Amino acid sequence: MATQTNVPQLNQQSKLAVVPFPAPQTITQLELTVLLSLCARLNQLEKQVESAETSIKSRLEAGCSIEEGDHVAALKENFRRNVSWKDVSVRLANKLYYGKGLSYVERVLRKTKPSRTVSLVIE
C-alpha cells in the first residue's frame, strides 16, 4: 500500500521538475544605443582623468604648493630594474661559472640602470 502512494508523488515531482523557460527577450535598439553612449562617455572620462592627473603631476614636479584641506597629493617615485631575464641568466651562469651564477647575476644587476617611474598619490 505504501508503494502505491509513493508512485503518484514521484509523478507529481517529475511534472514539477519540467518547467518551461520563458522565451528570451529581444535586445532593443535603445539598449544598444545606451550601451554605445555609455562606452563613449567612459572613454571621455578616462581621457579627462588622465589629463587631470598629468596636470597635477607636472605642477607638483614643478614645486607648486597644495591648498590645505581634506586631501593630500604627493608624488611617489619608484626605481625598477628589468629583471625578467634573471632566472634564465642564473641557470646559464651556473653552467658557465660552476655554481657561482647568482653572484654573476647580482653584479650584472648592480650595473643595470634602473628605470624611474613617478605616480600620483592622492589621499
The predicted structure's pLDDT at residue 11:
52
Residues 59 and 89 in one domain: no
How many other C-beta atoms can be found within 10 angstroms of the C-beta atom of residue 105?
22
Residues 75 and 58 in one domain: no
- Alpha-carbon distance of 42 to 36, in angstroms, equals 10
The predicted structure's pLDDT at residue 18:
64
The predicted structure's pLDDT at residue 107:
76
Residue that is written with C-alpha cell 604627493 in the block: 74
Residues 94 and 57 in one domain: no
43, 65, 87 - which closes a domain: 65
Per the structure, the complete domain to which residue 122 belongs is given by 71-123
Strand partners, 122: 73
Task: Tell me the DSSP string of 7-33.
Answer: HHHHHHHHHHH--PPPPPPPPPHHHHH
The predicted structure's pLDDT at residue 41:
98
3-state secondary structure of 41: helix
pTM: 0.54
Run means of pLDDT, 10 residues per run, the chain, 123 residues: 49 59 87 96 97 95 93 89 69 72 72 83 90
The predicted structure's pLDDT at residue 14:
53
Asked if residue 113 belongs to a domain, the reply is yes
- Total domains in the chain come to 2
Asked if residue 4 belongs to a domain, the reply is no
Residues 79 and 119 in one domain: yes
